[in-house]
Amino acid sequence: MKHKILISVAALALAAHLLMGFAFIKSAAPTYDEPVHLSSGYSYLATGRYIMNIMDHPPLSEMASALPLLCYRPSIFSNHTYFMGALPYHYGDLFLYQNVVDAEKMLNAARVFSFILWGAVFAVFIGLFAFKTAGFEAAVFSVAAFALLPVFISNNALVTTDAAPAAFYFASFCLGCMFARIEPLTATLRGHKVIKVLDNKKHYRYAALTGLATGLAMASKFSMFVLPPLVIGMWILHNILEPKIRLPRLLWYAAVYLAAALLTLAVVYKFDLALYFDGLRETFKRLDQGRSSFIWGTHSIKGVWWYFPVALTIKTPVAALLLAFTGLAVSLKRFKKEHLWLLLPPLCYFASASFTRVQIGFRHIMPVMPFLAVFAGLGAAYLKEKKALLWVFVPLIFLWIWGLARTGPYYLEYFNELAGGPKNGYKYLVDSNLDWGQGIKPLGSYLKERGNPPVILSYFGVAKPEYYGIKYFPLKGGLANVEINGTGEDLCALKRPLLAVSATNLQGVYFPDRGVFDWLKKRKPLFTAGYSIFLYDLTGDKEGLDRLSDIFDSQGLNREADCLRGRIKDE
């Protein structure tokens, strides 16, 4: 009966996970990279050629997400200059918005499939890893923790290359740990020495399975090249702490593991591994260049070491963090060698991520999060064991659920109580942490309910605002991979000067002048679209109109700037 109750808890959490994920999918416009990943993946499936985005990302995750599109058979545009010239953002825009199949129909079908697929992989391996290391109760609570973490609710439901490598990274260490835990079948006494006879079949099987998971991870994201040395290093460390296999034989199993990983990668790449290494080389070049990022008032090109520690602290439910710290403390107190497999892999990945030059999203440490879910499960199981501590456990769960409820359905924009909730998220982190272009859809719904007035739009994203019925005059500047050209509105004829600004642009992340919109921060928005796009009414705001006219002047839009200044005189 007790097991049935616990299983019901996990089932309820997973059901809530599905409902929240589907609500998020319905609420969100395409995020910045989704058209690229979806169109590239489908082009690989339809043509059999790896062209479009192959130097930026391996093909597996993109192809997996695009599988549902085979049922719709959208146009591939293989003769278009965007396809032939391998222009991924322009081709993604063409594929999504000028196809014979509706854009939202294609995107959301891929999202739902990805959400279910990667969620299932995470749930299975999180439950398995927790069960093998800490037992049934820890496994159930770990799966429930996974189901209620916003990073999985949102990022698993997007057509990106973040969920798949994180899932296979975790699976590699789960299977690697199971390899290390295999006990010898028999032991015979010869003199004073115990000679162990190994179960070779199990070792071969788990070495190959671990290699399969590693190969799938490497075929999903280039950062997964770190997996082979980490897995083999963990095997050597585990064997030092508990000698079972002589080093030459262990290295032989490592060779089997590497062969399985390489074969899996080769199959995905159609045995053109030179293409993989070309992409890996290009990735190193991009990472070395760095990228503009923002955290807590700090702008950087080369990154700051505290980016991911802060992101983890404010983008994860406080209850999950406290439960995970409890689980970590319990695992250290009741230490077993298997716990090293839960501790060292996420620690290594987190440390390496903290010193990279590209820091644009919490999603980049997704491989750490399934380990956190397991530690949270261990912590929950410990609190249940110590019944006197239930007064701590129950309030934590209510705090966790309340944070999800107030954020929904905008789970990508989740920030915990330490940051003041999602409404204050833009003060700490933007870009894919909060504002990835998805807010243009709720903005369109808001404007439609109010007669669809035209707006001046400074948008960080690639989704077509006009697809959501928005009439707008575009403000240029910032990061622009596709053209957002406007709907032909005459700014001089606007009845109300409504200005919509994405949070990433509000913080000036990709603008030469970081403070270009600082004057807006002391103004209260008329409406906030999913916590990521701020709509301001500048009617009667002489200072605001003057600042806005200066921006138009800086972009060479002198007529529009004069119209705004004329409005100041009239008011």
As beta bridge partners, residue 537 has: 498
> What is the pLDDT at residue 566?
81
Range 245-266 average pLDDT: 94
Residue 192 has pLDDT above 80, yes or no: no
> What is the pLDDT at residue 385?
85
Band (195; pLDDT cuts 50, 70, 90): very low
Average pLDDT over all residues of the chain: 93
> What is the pLDDT at residue 207?
97
Half-sphere exposure of 271 (CA within 13 A, CB side): 0
Q: What is the pLDDT of residues 112-134, one digit of tens each?
A: 999 999 999 999 999 999 999 99
Strands 455-458, 472-474: pairing kind:
parallel
Band (538; pLDDT cuts 50, 70, 90): very high
Band (571; pLDDT cuts 50, 70, 90): low
Tell me which of 358 and 159 has the higher pLDDT: 159
Range 252-269 average pLDDT: 97
Contact status, residue 570 vs residue 563, Cβ threshold 8 Å? no
Q: What is the pLDDT of residues 391-447, one digit of tens each?
A: 777 888 899 999 999 999 999 999 999 999 999 999 999 999 999 999 999 999 999
As beta bridge partners, residue 535 has: 500, 527
Per-residue burial over 519-545, b = 16 or more CB atoms within 10 Å of its CB, e = otherwise = bbeeeebbbbbbbbbbbbbbeebeebb
> What is the pLDDT at residue 185?
55
Residue 197 has pLDDT above 80, yes or no: no
> What is the pLDDT at residue 237?
95
d(CA 324, CA 507): 32
Residue type, 465: P
* Omega before residue 409 within 30° of 0, cis: yes
Contacts from 41-50 at CB under 8 Å and sequence distance 24+? 41/65, 41/66, 41/159, 42/66, 42/69, 42/74, 42/76, 42/95, 43/76, 43/78, 43/83, 43/91, 45/69, 45/70, 46/76, 46/78, 47/76, 47/78, 50/269, 50/270, 50/272, 50/275
% of the chain exceeding 70 in pLDDT = 96
Residue 189 has pLDDT above 70, yes or no: no
DSSP codes of every residue in 307-368: HHHHHHHHHS-HHHHHHHHHHHHHHHHT--TTHHHHHHHHHHHHHHHHT-S----GGGGGGG
Per-residue burial over 154-187, b = 16 or more CB atoms within 10 Å of its CB, e = otherwise = bbbbbbbbbbbbbbbbbbbbbbbbbbbbbeeeee
Band (457; pLDDT cuts 50, 70, 90): very high
Largest CA distance in the chain: 104
Q: What angle do CA 315, 169, 313 make, to 5 degrees?
A: 15
Tell me which of 463 and 181 has the higher pLDDT: 463
> What is the pLDDT at residue 483?
86
Q: What contacts 337, CB < 8 A, 6 or more positions away? A: 180, 238, 241, 242
> What is the pLDDT at residue 544?
93
Q: For residue 509, what are the CA distances in angstroms to 33, 433, 502, 527?
A: 17, 13, 11, 22
Range 452-470 average pLDDT: 96
The SS3 of residue 194 is: strand
Least confident interval from 71-75, 243-247, 437-441: 243-247
